[in-house]
Structure 1
């Protein structure tokens, strides 16, 4: 019989700046205690950047627009998917040194073992990023 994988953890949050902190706390708080010292800070930063981008660039400004987060472990990684109802495709930017923003995906690219952007089946976009961890950590 095959091993049954863990069930992913889901959250739905309003597309509001206050959701960034809530998302970060929820995601890092869901890590097993033994992994928090190894992954907590990086996963918290990934969460903050992806949720901030989803709110700024993917939400349409209506109350019903929610940001969805999914967290799951698979094949030596913790995967985080952050989805929004927007139709745009996030891309890496290389802002000038004096730019005040535009570095979120650069941080994601630096921290994540792998990341990608996927369209959602009905509407919206998901950014999926994975952080590697050692089994038994």
Structure 2
């Protein structure tokens, strides 16, 4: 086999590889990086930014503690809102939890049903007629 044949076979193999990857990419339906409500999030970006800045202005960052069987969120004042638990590796495990703080201004969420690993916690709440938004990465062991 001379060098021309080897070069042609190498080029054909590379082209086949690229075509197979292209077909696989177009037939893949599950893409965790694509948001389903992309435009709504873009329109509401200013509101989200203002709520995040309100957390910094009021020093209202909740303290998140992960335990063996619970996830505890401690707020500075009584609050009511929603907690979105997002699994960074699998969108199907995401959860939305409505909450209202107890008399000690805390929320306790059972974490036994949550898969171990990295999670993003997005807390959207209201306290004293002010709106807040806070995000944090946590690890559940």
Give the TM-score taking structure 2 as reference length.
Answer: 0.28
RCO higher in structure (CA 8 A, sep ≥6): 1
The structure with more strand, counted as a fraction of residues:
2
